[in-house]
Amino acid sequence: MQQPSVGRIVHYVSHGTPPRSDGTQAFQSECRAAIITEVGENDTVGLCVLNPTGQFFHSLAAGGCHHQENEQAGGSWHWPERV
């Protein structure tokens, strides 16, 4: 099991927009590249998220991001999938 550490690159799962009445979404949840900036307890980390058009920072002080390897819910992080 890999341990998160400052400077590692992981995936952050972006939040999709709410589903419309027909089930489609304007923006779907997607994996974004992110750099770990802080490591907290239970694999909660601070991230600098690299979106195609800008960066977002999620600090531990603001709650950080939780590790979710399989479900990949919006707002969580995971190790990059092997391709």
Contacting residues toward Zn ion, per CB under 5 A: 11, 31
Burial label for 10, CB within 10 Å (0-12, 13-18, 19+), is buried
Strands (E), the chain: 9-13, 31-39, 45-51, 54-58, 77-78
Report in angstroms how near the CB of residue 70 gets to Zn ion at its nearest: 11
**Of the two residues 2 and 21, which places its CB atom closer to Zn ion in the complex?**
2
Report in angstroms how near the CB of residue 82 gets to Zn ion at its nearest: 10
Report in angstroms how near the CB of residue 11 gets to Zn ion at its nearest: 3
